[in-house]
Chains A and B, each alone.
Chain A
Amino acid sequence: MNNPGKILVVEDRPEIRLLVAMAVKPFGHTLIEADSGKAGLAAIHLHRPDLILLDVMMPGEINGFGICRIVKQDPELRDTPVVMMTALAQASDIEEGMAAGADDYIVKPFSLVALRSIIGRLLGRSGEEAGRP
C-alpha cells in the first residue's frame, strides 16, 4: 500500500507532461516521462510501469494506438492498464482505441479530477478515485 505505483506518461508536449506530473504529484506516484512513441516503448520495457498514459497523436513512426496494441499483445505487459489521451474526440477514434485494447480513454482537454479518478480507479486508490488529493 505504501507503493503508490509507477506511471508512464508518453506525450510529445512538454507542458502536458508537466501538467500530468503536477496533477499526480500529491499521490506519491513515481512518474516516468517519454516524449515519443519510441521512447515510450523503451521506458515500458525498462521500468515496467503500473499504468501507462498515452498520447495518441505523436510525431514519429509509432503513435499511441500502436503502442497500446504492442502492450496488449505482449503476455507480460497485457495486464498493465493503458489510458489513451487524445484530442481526437470523434466516436470512430474512441472505437479504434478500444479496439487496440486501451482500458480507458480521456479526451483533451481534460479536468485533472477526471484524470486522477481514472488513474485511481485503475490503480485501486480510493482517494484518487474521488479526484481529490
Chain B
Amino acid sequence: MGRWYPYPDTELIMLNALRSLRTRFENASLQRKIALTMGVGGLLVTAAIAIAAFMLSRQLIVTNTRSILAMSAQQQEREVVLRMESAIALARSLANNTVTANALADNLGRMTYLAPLLSSQSLPFPGAKLLLTDYRGRVVAASSSNEAEPVEGLSDLVDATLTSGNPGGALLGSSSDKSFRLVAVLPVVYRLTGQAEGAIVLIIPAGELLQKHAGKYQFGLLDAHSKLITGSLGGENAIRSIVHIDFPQPLGAVFLSVSISQDRDVALHELDTLFVVFVVIGAVLLIGVTVISRRAARFLTQPLSELSFAAERISQSGRPESIPEMRRDDELGSLARAFHQMLGRLTDSYDVLERRVEERTAALQASEQKLASILASIQDGIWSLTPDGRQLSYISPSSTSVTGIDSAIVQGDLSVFFAAVHADDIEVIQSALRRLIDDGENIDIEFRFNNPQKGLRTLQARAHRVVGDDGSVIRLDGMLSDVTQRSEAEEQLRRRELYLRAILDNFPFMVWLKDADSRFLAVNQRFAEAAGRSTGDELRGLTDLDAWPASLAEQYRADDREVMASGQEKNLEEPVEIAGARRWIEAFKKPVVTPEGQILGTVGFARDITERKEMQYQLAKSEERWELAVAGSNDGIWDWDIRSGTLYLSERWKEMLGYRDDEISNRYEEWEERIHPEDRERVLGEVQRHLDGKTDLYQVEHRVRCKDGSYRWILARGKAIRDSDGRPSRFLGSHSDIHERILAESGLKLRTAQLNAIFALSPDGFIAFGENGLIEYASTAFCVLTGLDGNDVYGLSERELLGLLALRCLSDSRSNLKVLESLEQGNGKVSGEGPGGRHLLELDKPERRVLEIGRRQSAERSVSKIFYFRDVTYETEVDRLKSEFLSTAAHELRTPMVSILGFSELLLEDSGFDKETTHELIDTIHRQSTLMASIIDELLDLARIEARRGQDFVLEALDLCQLAREVAKSFRFPNDSRGITLHLDVVQANIEGDRRKVTQAINNVVTNAFKYSPDGGEIVLTVRRADTPTGQGYAVSVTDQGVGMTPESVARVCERFFRADTSGRILGTGLGMSIVKEIVDLHGGTVGISSELNQGTEVVLGFPANHAQSNSIAALSEMVGT
C-alpha cells in the first residue's frame, strides 16, 4: 500500500502554477509577450506612484491636524487663564472687603448676610464655591448651602495661609475619585492689626476649567506627571497636542496642562475619498497602459506576423508567392527585404522544377493508361500449375478479384484455395484435375466457391496441358472466371417461366396459343379443364377437334383462319354448352405476327361472362320497366348532363308543349328560354338551390311556353346525381302536365271569392262548421245580426255558439230556451214551436230582434253542417199585428151581434112586451145592425186602401177650400142641429189627390167632432196655409169643444178599433181615424191631433201643395188682378 497525501504541498502547487504560467508566457506570441510585459510594467509603476502619493497625503493631513490642535489647545489655555484670573480677582476683592472683615467679628450677624453675599457673587465657573473661614480655619459662611464635601488637604492649605498671611493655592483632590479641585485661599487681613483673621476660599472643580466643545476634538487636563485629571485623551492613535497652563497667582505653583486630541481615523477620513480618486485614476491609467501596450506590440510585431503569414502560405501551397514589400528601415524592414529576395529566387527555381515534374507525370500517365487497359481487359484469373498439379507456379493478380483471396497467399499454399471451394464440389475438381494430368483431358468445370468478399459464387475453371518440344508436360495452364451472374440469369429465366405458367394457370380466363395449323402449342389450366383434360400439356399438338364438339371446333378453326387471314383481332360473345349448362363466353382471338410480318399462329383468351350477361339482361329489363312507367305516367323526362351542357328531353316532354321529337334539340337553352319570364327567376333559383344541395328534391311548378306561344303549367321534379366529390354531374327528372289542375284551382279560387261576396252581401247570416265540428266560417251578416265578432266565433263548437246566443236572448223567454235546447239536441225540427216548426230566437242584444235559425247537415265532407240566420223581426211583427187585428175585428163584430142576437131572441120567445118596449128592442137591434154594417164597410175600406196602397186613387187637382165648403154645406149629423163654421184663410188651397178619399177623410174627422161633442159647441172647419220644412202645403183643421181626450188616447187614436169613448154612449167602429190616417199618409200628408180632456179636440190634416196648379192659379189671379 502506497502513501497517500490528502493535500498536496501548497508550495508545490504554487510552483506548478508559476511554471505553467511561465510556459504559457513562453509559448505566447511575440505580440502577446510585448503587450503583457508593458502592461505589467505600467501596472507596477502606477501602483508605486499611487502608494507614494497616498503616504504623502496621509503625512500632510496628520501634520495639519496637529497644528490645528495646537492652536486650539493654546486658545483653550488662554481662556482658562482668563477666567481663573477673574475668579481670583473676585475672591480677592471679597477678601479685601471690609464687610467680610466685619462679618468675622460679628458672630451673630454674619450668618444672616454673609452667606447671601457670598452666593450673590457671580463666578465664571458655575460649580465654583466661595467659603469664608475664621482665624482657626473653620468655615463660617459658604456661597451655597450645599454641604461642601470635604476636600482633602484644604484645612492644611487654609492653615498655611492664615499662618503666613499670604495667599495660597493648590490643586487638591483625591486621585481615587479624580475629583480634583483648584483651591485658592486669600487671607482676610484686619488693617488695624495686619493679622489674618480669616480667609476667603475659592474652590473650583478641575472639570470646569475646560469649556466643553462639542465636535471632533477631545479635551483633557494633565497634571505634572502627564496623568489625566479630567476630560479625555482620545484613543490610542489619536493625534494630540498638549499645552501648559500658566495659572495666575496664587495658583502659580499649580502645574496643569491642557490636552486636545483627535481620533486618527476621523482625521484621516478625508483620505478615504482621496483613496477612491486614486483608485479611479489608477484604473484609467491601467486601461490606457494596456491599450498603448497592445498598440505598441502590434506596431512592433506586425511586419513579423506578415512575414510569418507569407511563409505559412508558401509552406501550405508549396509554391512561392509574392508578398507585399516592407518599406521600413529598421531591422525588421531589412529582414523582410531579404525574405523577399529569397522568395524571388525560390520562385524561379520552383518554375523549372514544376515543368520537369509535369513532363514526367505525362509520360507516367500514358504508360499507366496502357497498363490499366490491359489490366481491365483481363478479368479472369490466370494460373499455372506444376505438371504434377501440386504446386501453383503462377497466378495472376486479377484472380484475386475472382477468388476474393490474395493471390500471393494462394501462391504459397494451394490448400487455402481448396478450403474455400464448396465441400460438395471438391471431389469434382480433384477428379477433373486427375484426368487432366493422367489423360490430358481438358478441364472445363463449374463449381461453387466461397468468396470471402462476395459470398458463395459460381466459378468456372478451364485448363489444359502445355507440352514441351520433347513431349513432356511442362505445366498446366488454366483460367478461373466468375460465372455466378450467368448461372443466376439462367435460374431467373426458369423461374419467370414458372411464374408465367402459374399466372396463366390461375388466370380467370382460358388462354391458348396455336400454330398456323391451329394446333395447340400451349394452353392454361383453365382451358384444359374446360376441355376436360387434367393438364395443359395433354392438349399440346392437338386441335380443337380433340377438345370441343365437332360443330364448335369447326367454328373455332374458321375463326382462326379468319384472324390469320385478316391479321385483325376478333372479339366475340357466344353461348356455349358446358357440362350441360348454357354459358356465355367472351373470346378474344389475335394473330401472332413476327416483326417481319410472318404469321406464326394465333393467341386467344376467353372468359365466362354468363353473370354479366344476366345482369345486363336484368338491367335492360328494369330500364324497360322504368320507360314503361314513365310512358304510363304521361310525364316528360329530362336528363341534363351538367358537365357537357346537353339536355336530353324525352319525346313526351316535347309533345307536352306541342312539338315533335325532332323540333327541339338536346340543349340546355331549349328548356331555359321556354320558362315563363315571371317564373324564370324562381325556377332557376330552385335549380341552383338543389344543385347546391339545399333541397333533397327539386320540385317546382311553373309555366313553359308551348309551340303555339301559349303557356302551360307543369310540375317539374328532379334529382341531381353527384360524383364522389359531391359535385352534381347529372340532373334528371320529369315534367308533369298540371295545367288543367292549376286552371281548376284558379276557377275554384274565383268561385270561392264569388261565394264569399255573395255571403257577405246576403242579409241572412251563415255559419259553417268544419269537418271537426268547429266553426270555420261566419258571414258578415251573422255578425251584424247577432252582434258577435267573427273572430270570436271561429273555432267554437256548436254548443259553445248556442251558449253565446243564449246570453243574447231574452232570458225569461220560454220559447227561446226550448229552441236552443232543441237545436242543441240536434233536432232538425222543433215540435209545435213557431209557424211551420221554425226555430225562432228572440234576441235582446244588440237590439230586439227575432232570428229564424236553420240547421242543415251538409253532404260535403269538408263542411259538416251549416247554420243560417234570417232576420224575421218585421215578418213576425206583421204576423203579430195581423193576428191581433183579426181577434180585435172579431171581437168588434161579435159585440153588436150580442145585442142583435139576444134582443131578437127575446122578441121571438115572448111577445108579451108592451109596444114601447118592443120598439126599443127593435131599435137597438137596428142600431147595432147599422153599426155592424158600417164596421164591415170601413174594414173593407181600410183593407182596400191598404191593399192598393193608393194605386186606385184617382188623382186630380183639388181645392181644399172647395172641398171644405162642400162638406160644410152637405154634412148633417143625425139628431144634431148644429152646423159647421167654415174658416177659409186662403182663397185657394190646391193639392193633388183623390176627391172621394180626401172628402171621406174630412167627413170622418167632422163626424168624430160631432160625436164627441154631444153637449154641443161650435164645430169649426178651417183651411189654411201650412208649409212644412219639405215644401208648401195646406191644412184642413177641425175643431170641437167636446169631451177631448187624454194624452194616452191621443197617442192611440189612429189605432184600429181604438175608441176614445168607453162608456158606450157614443157608437163607433174605432176605424174612422185609422182610415183618415191611411188616406192622408197615402197623399203624402200628416195627421196632427191636439186635445184636452173636457175642452175639445183639434184634428189637422196637412197636405202638400200641388205646385203646378198653384203656380198657374197664381198666374191666373195676377191676370185677373190686372
Contact = CB atoms under 8 A, between A and B. Distances in A.
Interface stretch (B62-70, B548-556, B887-895): B887-895
B784 to A, nearest CB: 35
A133 B905 CA distance: 13
B928 interface: yes
B890 A89 contact: yes
A111 B1064 contact: no
B15 to A, nearest CB: 162
Contact of B895 (A13, A23, A36, A60): A13
Interface string A8-24: 00001111101100110
A110 B887 contact: no
A108 interface: yes
A14 B898 contact: no
Given A13-B895, A15-B928, A87-B894, A109 B1064 contact: no
Given A13-B1064, A15-B928, A90-B887, A22 B895 contact: no
Contacts of B899: 13, 15-16, 19
Given A60-B1062, A88-B891, A89-B890, A19 B897 contact: no
B898 A110 contact: yes
Interface string B858-899: 000000000000000000000000000001001111110111
Given A12-B1064, A15-B924, A19-B903, A109 B898 contact: yes
B1064 A14 contact: yes
Contacts of B909: 112, 133
A124 interface: no
B651 to A, nearest CB: 84
B900 A109 contact: yes
Interface size range of chain B in the complex: 20 to 34
B297 to A, nearest CB: 158
Contacts of A88: 887, 890-891
Contact of A23 (B891, B897, B900, B902): B902
Of listed A12, A57, A87, A133, residue having the most chain B CB within 10 A: A87
B906 A19 contact: yes
A18 to B, nearest CB: 8
Given A15-B1064, A35-B1063, A59-B1062, A111 B905 contact: yes
Nearest to A115: B902
A115 to B, nearest CB: 8
Contacts, number: 73
B1108 interface: no
B1051 interface: no
Given A15-B924, A112-B906, A112-B909, A87 B901 contact: no
Nearest to B903: A19
Contacts of B1065: 14
Nearest to A57: B891
Interface string B800-843: 00000000000000000000000000000000000000000000
A108 B906 contact: no
Contacts of B892: 87
A108 B894 contact: yes
Interface in B649-704: none
Nearest to A58: B1062
A16 B898 contact: yes
Contacts of A108: 894-895, 897-898
Contacts of A14: 1064-1065
Given A12-B1062, A19-B906, A111 B891 contact: no
B924 A110 contact: no
The DSSP consensus for interface residues of chain A is loop
Interface string B907-942: 001100000000000001000100000000000000
Contacts of B910: 133
Contacts of B924: 15, 18
B894 A112 contact: no
Contacts of B895: 13, 16, 87, 108
Given A12-B1064, A15-B899, A90-B887, A109 B906 contact: no
A87 B898 CA distance: 9
A133 B1065 CA distance: 31
A36 B1064 CA distance: 11
A36 B909 CA distance: 30
A109 B894 contact: yes
A82 B509 CA distance: 132
B1093 to A, nearest CB: 15
Contacts of A58: 1062
A36 B924 CA distance: 21
Contacts of B891: 57, 86-88
Q: Which of B895, B897, B898, B901 has the most CB of A within 10 A?
A: B898
Contacts of A18: 924
B902 A87 contact: no
Given A23-B906, A87-B894, A109 B1062 contact: no
A109 B929 CA distance: 13
Contacts of A15: 898-899, 903, 924, 928, 1064
B898 A19 contact: yes
B697 to A, nearest CB: 75
Contacts of B902: 16, 19, 23, 109-110, 112
A111 B1063 contact: no
Nearest to B893: A87
A34 to B, nearest CB: 13
B810 to A, nearest CB: 20
Residue among A23, A90, A107, A108 with the most chain B CB within 10 A?
Answer: A108
Interface in A81-103: 86-90
Contacts of B901: 109-111
Interface in A106-130: 107-113
Nearest to A92: B887
A58 B891 CA distance: 12
Contacts of A111: 901, 905
B937 to A, nearest CB: 20
B905 A112 contact: yes
Contacts of A107: 894
A89 B1063 CA distance: 23
A23, A86, A109, A112: which has the most chain B beta carbons within 10 Å? Answer: A109
A22 B906 CA distance: 8
A109 B893 CA distance: 9
A59 B1046 CA distance: 14
Nearest to A17: B1064
Contacts of A16: 895, 898-899, 902
Contacts of A113: 905
Interface string A52-80: 00000111100000000000000000000
Contacts of B906: 19, 22-23, 112
Contacts of A22: 903, 906
B1012 to A, nearest CB: 15
A57 B1059 CA distance: 13
A127 B1121 CA distance: 86
A52 to B, nearest CB: 18
B911 to A, nearest CB: 13
A109 B892 CA distance: 11
Contacts of B898: 13, 15-16, 19, 87, 108-110
B884 to A, nearest CB: 11
Nearest to A56: B891
A99 to B, nearest CB: 15
A109 to B, nearest CB: 4
Nearest to B927: A15
Contacts of A19: 898-899, 902-903, 906
List the 3 closest pairs (A to B, CB-CB), nearest first.
Answer: A87-B894, A59-B1062, A109-B897
10 contacts: A13-B895, A23-B902, A87-B892, A87-B893, A107-B894, A108-B894, A109-B901, A110-B902, A112-B905, A133-B909
Given A12-B1062, A13-B895, A88-B890, 8 more contacts: A15-B928, A16-B895, A16-B898, A23-B902, A87-B891, A108-B894, A109-B894, A133-B910
Interface of B: 887, 890-895, 897-903, 905-906, 909-910, 924, 928, 1062-1065
